[in-house]
Chains A and B, each alone.
Chain A
Amino acid sequence: MSDRILTVEGLEVSLPVPSGTLNAVQGVSFHVDRGETVCIVGESGCGKSLTALAIMDLLPRRARRVARTLTLLGDPLIGVPETKMADLRGNRMGMIFQEPMTSLNPAYTIGNQLEEALLRHRKVPRAKARERAVHLLERVGITAAGQRLRQYPHQLSGGLRQRVMIAMALMTGPDLIIADEPTTALDVTIQAQILHLLAELQREFHMGLVLITHDLGVVARIATRVVVMYAGQVVETGTAAEVFGAPRHPYTRGLLDCIPIPGKTKRGEHLGTIPGMVPSLVGQMEGCHFAGRCNYVIDECRAAPIPLVSAPGRGHAVRCIRADELSRQPAAAEEGAA
């Protein structure tokens, strides 16, 4: 089991809000093996970013975090003192955030910020740290790396800043990279380049990669396994081929129908929609969280909590009691219902 990098079981995150308790993440489980890219996908408010922050213990102070298991290479990430946690975070996890402008410190040079992690966590001499910084900047495709070290974040374009962030995440040679919407703020051409680079580095350094995104196109292209979240829960999980090739949850199917695909969706025709809105996660919710927006809802859906059940095939699991019955129905029935 030395290949298991991250294990998350029964992760719960709740936040006190004026009207009660917001149960933002409700029993999320997944794991990441060495060399795997696991994508957590969902729309705003589904709990995907809080899941990432919870893994790294970077939640807002008022948030409460509970899990049956939360381990990185067998070491617990929960209930450990902050100094130990900072050590784990710095040495074995790398983070890449959405907005490289806000996550880089504008007052320090790129070089300072790149070297900091190594100086702090590995106690190496500055020259050694600098050497690694130059090496990694070159590796992520930045030319004249030596000069770039003396530049400040505002002197770089968005794409270059994101490359710096990636180099920074790699400085300590981590086992796991957690990237939260790493390409959302970038142009499409740059997005493709950055994803290409991430996939390449992930293979080269043989790391686990957790990629959080709302973009199903990104997920389909880069994921080994996919975790689809809705309203705080995992509603479907499996390989990219399983989830995109034969989606089983009505939410996953609905999402895929919403997306125009050149050459497939017809111009001028309506795209699929998911009626209604995401339910409030304040307080306890009975039954299926998607019931209020689902075209296939029946009384049983609302009666009791719906478990995540493995479907035939490798690890393809779905949280829907009608999944078997619905997956036998042709897709045409769905269009009529929408």
Chain B
Amino acid sequence: MIPAEFEYVAPSTVEEAVQALDRAGDDAKVLAGGQSLLPVLRMRMADPGLVVDLGGIPEARGVREDGDTLVIGAMTSHHEVMRSELVRGHAELVALATRTVADPQVRHRGTFGGSLAHADPAGDLPAPVLAMDAEMVVAGPSGRRTVPAAEFFVDYFTTALDSNEVLVEVRIPKYTGWRAHYEKFNRVAQAWSVVGVAATVLVRDGAVARARVGLTNMGATPVRAHGVERALVGSPPTEEAFRRAAVHATEGTQAGSDASAEADYREHLAEVLTGRALATACG
């Protein structure tokens, strides 16, 4: 478990980080907490010539408000995210999903942006971010650009980030007053999700006014369950309505098969867990 030799830099600004990546071409990896990268390096599944550690960049860390938008710095630790009053008040779904990530040690080291940029289909944070129509602020050599979450997740472990770009922060419209639940199904406490369902719902006047649902590990990227959302809006928040809406959970999914679940079982789980996520959110 010894990584191959690499150069290490720890820039103190986003711009310095981008320059370092740009110089290295494809031969660099970004260290953003290291809870996925370090195992990968130690098992020599990757051997970059350069590791750029974003841990020393103050700008990339912390949670703030910007009008109707909540801004989470990419280097904010999971622990900070789940404890943040701002996140809990305006993006409860993110706080709830983050609570299910791994264990306390990992949550103190691992970061919000690191998880998103890693884009593990079994990771718990992409689905909530997708469901909530977040925007990803990306810095590159020619400045900053904003990528909608729906375009950010491209494939297995692949995002819209170029090799010389870093994720700086994530902008999430405020979901103040929405109810939320992240229903995670895994084999043991520390294991990745077999399937996860991220749901947040606004109930007004005894009916579902708006709904956002995202699915974890039902394809190469997180999947937005538009069919479920459409079926819900206008319905009363009842178990029956949730069950009827959950039937649409697998629309647009491309569930894979692996050691913990074959595709048909995953699809079955997605439906059951969607019903449960909605019921718990509104319960």
Q: Do A and B truly interact?
A: no
- Contacts from B to A (Cβ < 8 Å): none
